[in-house]
């Protein structure tokens, strides 16, 4: 079997050592006599797995004790719908800084349960840049301010998210979490779907300041109450145990590789390599994002002639480079460079791009 370099935005490439370890324990986990897929989530075997995953994540991201860590089923969009239920009073304003497709999605999910307001938006410019802090119009009574740290589709990224004032800042870090050091204390809450940098699809991490959990919020079923989930160690109901297990393996792999400081170095090199190839192509390839706002994780780019897109994708696949098709919102190409993508994969893509330009230029 020959594994390709997988540039998918999610479900994304997982580290091969993690996949092999998961494969080795698929049939029998430890001395359980059964797969981890089959053992009780309330038994000591899985309780130890869950506790270790949380401890390792706290170490990886330097999460203080005054923040709870929840592992919830579903994706980031589910969290977006539950944020106002848990942290806003009925009818209370919640401010949203919209920098791309997923920022708009977060606003849409919150709208039925809060007075969701657009504090700033870069949509008029096609989401090619970030809204300047001076342009933010924050509500004095906002329950929180929401930002999307990295826009997977439009390829813009906040590297230093501005202060939000008196309201707690809540950020969707789905596609950039654990890619570089992060000061968790700047945020009231951080959440991330695991399927990009943390593990497989189907589980989400929510890191939330404990004082926010004390908010009354709005009427909601216990299963949607983050206080109840925290009190039950994320096991109010049966959790996605396999996903949680693989997430734990992925976090441990990142620690073994040197942690977020090492991945920050790797990710900076990978992004610089690809952007240099695009910018140095003489216009054959182009990225339309303002340079200061360019994402390290997701790089959308376009060929000078869209008629060549199909040939580019088919030939890239033959070269062992897959999942490069851009999102339908933008078209073109997109290369996602998450932690599991080695620099050799980006170099292979750059080499292919240069060869393709030579053949078809």
Q: What is the DSSP string of 131-167?
A: PPGGG----TT-S-EEEESEETTTTEE-SSPPP-TTS
Q: Hey, where are the domains in the chain?
A: 17-256, 259-360
What is the rounded CA–CA span in Å between residue 81 and residue 192?
Answer: 14
What is the rounded CA–CA span in Å between residue 251 and residue 261?
Answer: 14
Active-site residue (options: 95, 172, 242, 252)? 172
Residue 102 catalytic? yes
The CATH code that applies to domain 259-360 is 3.90.1150.10
pLDDT at 31: 84
pLDDT at 68: 98
Active-site residue (options: 102, 158, 244, 253)? 102
Q: Does the domain at residues 17-256 carry the CATH identifier 3.40.50.300?
A: no
Angle between helices 343-360 and 259-279 (to 10 degrees): 10
- Which of 146, 88, 93, 98 lies closest to 117, judged by CA? 93
Active-site residue (options: 95, 115, 158, 196)? 196
pLDDT at 33: 87
Residue 196 catalytic? yes
Which tokens belong to 330?
């933008």
pLDDT at 302: 98
What is the rounded CA–CA span in Å between residue 278 and residue 275?
Answer: 5
Task: Give yes or no for a contact between 230 and 68, defined as CB atoms under 8 angstroms apart.
Answer: yes
**Taking the complete model, does pTM exceed 0.75, yes or no?**
yes
pLDDT at 154: 97
Task: Give yes or no for a contact between 82 and 224, defined as CB atoms under 8 angstroms apart.
Answer: yes
Are domains 17-256 and 259-360 of this chain identical in fold?
Answer: no
Q: In a structure prediction context, what are the per-residue pLDDT tens digits for the chain, which is 361 residues long?
A: 589 999 999 999 999 999 999 999 989 888 888 888 898 898 999 999 999 999 999 999 999 999 999 999 989 999 999 999 999 999 999 999 999 999 999 999 999 999 999 999 999 999 999 999 999 999 999 999 999 999 999 999 998 999 998 999 999 999 999 999 999 999 999 999 999 999 999 999 999 999 999 999 999 999 999 999 999 999 999 999 999 999 999 999 999 999 999 999 999 999 999 999 999 999 999 999 999 999 999 999 999 999 999 999 999 999 999 999 999 999 999 999 999 999 999 999 999 999 999 999 8
């Amino acid at each position: 079997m020959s594994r390709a370099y997988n540039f998918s935005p999610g479900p994304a490439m997982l580290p091969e050592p993690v996949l092999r370890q998961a494969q080795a324990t698929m049939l029998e986990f430890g001395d359980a006599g059964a797969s981890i897929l089959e053992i009780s989530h309330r038994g000591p075997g899985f309780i130890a797995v869950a506790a270790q995953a949380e401890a390792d994540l706290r170490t990886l991201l330097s999460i203080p004790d005054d923040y709870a860590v929840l592992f919830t089923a579903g994706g980031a969009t589910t969290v977006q719908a539950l944020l106002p239920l848990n942290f806003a009073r009925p009818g209370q304003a919640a401010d949203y800084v919209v920098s791309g497709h997923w920022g708009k999605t977060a606003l849409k999910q919150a709208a039925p349960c809060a007075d969701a307001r657009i504090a700033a938006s870069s949509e008029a410019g096609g989401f090619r840049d970030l809204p300047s802090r001076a342009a933010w119009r924050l509500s004095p009574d906002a329950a929180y301010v929401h930002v999307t740290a990295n826009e997977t589709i439009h390829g813009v990224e906040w590297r230093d998210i501005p202060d939000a004032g008196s309201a707690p800042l809540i950020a969707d870090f789905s596609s950039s979490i654990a890619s570089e050091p992060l000061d968790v204390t700047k945020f009231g809450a951080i959440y991330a779907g695991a399927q990009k940098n943390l593990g497989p699809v189907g589980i989400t991490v929510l890191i939330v300041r404990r004082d926010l959990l004390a908010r009354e919020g709005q009427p909601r079923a216990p299963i949607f109450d983050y206080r109840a989930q925290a009190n039950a160690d994320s096991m109010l109901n049966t959790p996605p145990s396999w996903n949680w297990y693989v997430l734990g393996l992925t976090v441990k792999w990142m620690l073994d590789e040197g942690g977020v400081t090492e991945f920050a170095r790797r990710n900076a090199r990978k992004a610089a390599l690809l952007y240099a190839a695009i910018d140095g192509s003489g216009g054959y390839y182009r990225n339309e994002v303002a340079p200061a706002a360019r994402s390290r994780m997701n790089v959308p780019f376009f060929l000078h002639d869209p008629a060549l897109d199909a040939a580019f994708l088919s030939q890239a696949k033959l070269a062992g480079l897959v999942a490069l098709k851009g999102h339908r919102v933008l078209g073109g190409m997109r290369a996602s460079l998450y932690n599991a993508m080695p620099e050799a994969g980006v170099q292979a893509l750059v080499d292919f791009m240069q060869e393709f330009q030579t053949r078809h230029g």
